[in-house]
Structure 1
Amino acid sequence: MPILFGQIVHRFIEQAINDYLQTGTVPTVEELVQYARGQLNAAFIDSTRYTEQWRQKPTKYYMMQEIYYYGKLQPAVIQDYKERLQLVFNHFLRSETFQEITARKGSLRIGEPEQFRSMKMDGIQVFVVMDFHYYNEQTDKWVIIDWKTGGESDDDRQQLALYAYYVQQKYRVSLAQIEAYNEYLLTGNRKKYQFTDFDMANILHTFQCSVLEMKKYQADIFANEPVDLEDFEPTNEQWQCRSCNFRELCRQS
């Protein structure tokens, strides 16, 4: 539910920004809530009524993890997310980012949102999906925005540092020209980051360590074949199992 909720909110935020840039029309909170609620309802109906169709065409139908494993959504969860819809869209329309877009439309060069971009790091292709970014001609700044529909996390800064690294490499600009923001839509808080060369070095180091860790699970590096399932040791942090994509496989082994 948290992932589905985030995807749907991001989708309608992107649509709202695109619609404004093309037509100058700003949606109301009620309109955004109605659109998003319709998508959530569709996902619920898919998950409860079209299980067999989902098994045949899993990319064409939704299947909510909570319903797959437990058969239902708790009423308290449904009510919680209904309330969140009002909060996130209200905070989006009032956010500094959206106010900047509507106030300075002519001086902002908008990047394509939610597009798969890639770059090479140590010869390895890395994909980057930024929520929103633009160049402000008046301030000579590249601005990166990441919308958050959940709480703050220790990983938020590192995620934006990777985006800053991409912008730095893509547009050949200095870090002083890059500003990054988290817009926390549940609370309406905004957090600003500016990065240094040390941050970029740390991103590269983290990436290198991550690649080395993943390569331990390759039986054949050239064919990209994994080691046996038994060689993937289970985590001791069992709370992670609740959202693991491989949960059912683990139960079967």
Structure 2
Amino acid sequence: MPILFGQIVHRYIEQAINDYLQTGKAPTVEELIQLGRGQLNAAFIDSTRRLDFWRQKPNKYYMMQEIYYHGTLSPELVQDYKERLRLVFNHFLMSETFQQITSQKGSLRIGEPEQFRSMKVEDVQVFVVMDFHYYDELRDKWIIVDWKTGGESDDDRQQLALYAYYVQQKYRVSLAQIEVYNEYLLTGKRKKYSFTDIDMENILYTFQRSVLEMKKYQADIFSNEPVDIEDFEQTQEKWHCRGCNFRELCASR
């Protein structure tokens, strides 16, 4: 549910921004809520009534993890996310980012949101999907915005550091020209991040370590063939299993 909720909110935020840039008309909170509820209802119907369709074409139908493993959604969970819809869409429309879009439309050069971009880091292709970024001509700044529908995480800064590195390399600009923000839509809080050259060195080091760790699970680097499933060790931190889509694989081991 948290992942599905985030995907739906991001989809209609992107749509709202694109529609405003084309028509100059912003949606109302109620319009956004109605769209979000429609998608949540569609996911529930797919998950409860279209299991066979989903098995045949899993990329065409929804399957909610909670329903797949437990057969139902608790009434408390449903009510919680109904309330969250109103909060996040209201905070989006009131956010400093959206207010700037509506007040400075003519001086902002908007990047394509939610598009797959890539860069090479030591011959490894890295895909970067930024929620939203634009160039502010009045301030000569590149602005990166990441919408969050959940709580704050220690990983948020690291994720945004990679985005800043991408913009720095793509547009050949200094870090001083880049501003990075998290818009936490559940609370309405906006958090700004600044990055230094040392931060960029650290993110590249973390990336290199991550690549080396992943390569341990390649039996053949040329065909990208994985090692046997038995060689993927199971986590000892069982709380991870609650959010894992593939936990049934472990049940058979």
The bucket for the TM-score relative to the shorter chain is over 0.9
Give secondary structure in 2 for the equivalent of 1:233.
coil
Give the share of equivalent positions with the same residue, in percent. Answer: 81
Which digits, 9 at most, give the CA deviation of each residue in 1:157-216, with x for residues without a partner? 000000000000000000000000000000000000111000000010000000010111
Whole-Å Cα distance in 2 between the matches of residues 144 and 52 of structure 1? 41
Whole-Å Cα distance in 2 between the matches of residues 212 and 21 of structure 1? 43
Letter in 2 for 1:239: W
Count, aligned residues = 253
2:65 and 2:245 in contact (8 A); partners too:
no
Give secondary structure in 2 for the equivalent of 1:219.
strand
Stretches of structure 1 lacking an aligned partner (at least 5 in a row)? none
Give the drift of 1:245.
2.9
Which residue of structure 1 lines up, in the alignment, with residue 250 of structure 2?
250
Whole-Å Cα distance in 2 between the matches of residues 252 and 68 of structure 1? 17
Give secondary structure in 2 for the equivalent of 1:134.
strand
Which residue of structure 2 lines up, in the alignment, with residue 176 of structure 1?
176
Letter in 2 for 1:74: S
Which residue of structure 2 lines up, in the alignment, with residue 160 of structure 1?
160
Which residue of structure 2 lines up, in the alignment, with residue 78 of structure 1?
78
Give the drift of 1:246.
2.1
Is 1:148 paired with 2:148? Answer: yes
Whole-Å Cα distance in 2 between the matches of residues 112 and 250 of structure 1? 40
Please show how residues 1-253 of structure 1 align to structure 2 within 5 Å: 1-253=1-253
Whole-Å Cα distance in 2 between the matches of residues 53 and 224 of structure 1? 30
Whole-Å Cα distance in 2 between the matches of residues 207 and 238 of structure 1? 26
Which digits, 9 at most, give the CA deviation of each residue in 1:13-41, with x for residues without a partner? 00000000000001000000000000000
Whole-Å Cα distance in 1 between the matches of residues 107 and 251 of structure 2? 55
Whole-Å Cα distance in 1 between the matches of residues 244 and 132 of structure 2? 27
2:118 and 2:126 in contact (8 A); partners too:
yes
TM-score (norm 1): 0.99
Give the drift of 1:225.
0.9
Which digits, 9 at most, give the CA deviation of each residue in 1:121-158, with x for residues without a partner? 01000000000000000000000000000000000000
Whole-Å Cα distance in 2 between the matches of residues 223 and 129 of structure 1? 25
Give secondary structure in 1 for the equivalent of 2:133.
strand
Whole-Å Cα distance in 2 between the matches of residues 244 and 210 of structure 1? 20
Whole-Å Cα distance in 1 between the matches of residues 223 and 110 of structure 2? 39
Whole-Å Cα distance in 2 between the matches of residues 237 and 112 of structure 1? 39
Whole-Å Cα distance in 2 between the matches of residues 113 and 248 of structure 1? 35
Give secondary structure in 2 for the equivalent of 1:234.
coil
Stretches of structure 2 lacking an aligned partner (at least 5 in a row)? none
Give the drift of 1:224.
1.0
Whole-Å Cα distance in 2 between the matches of residues 55 and 246 of structure 1? 15
TM-score (norm 2): 0.99
Whole-Å Cα distance in 2 between the matches of residues 158 and 93 of structure 1? 26
2:143 and 2:179 in contact (8 A); partners too:
yes
Letter in 2 for 1:160: L
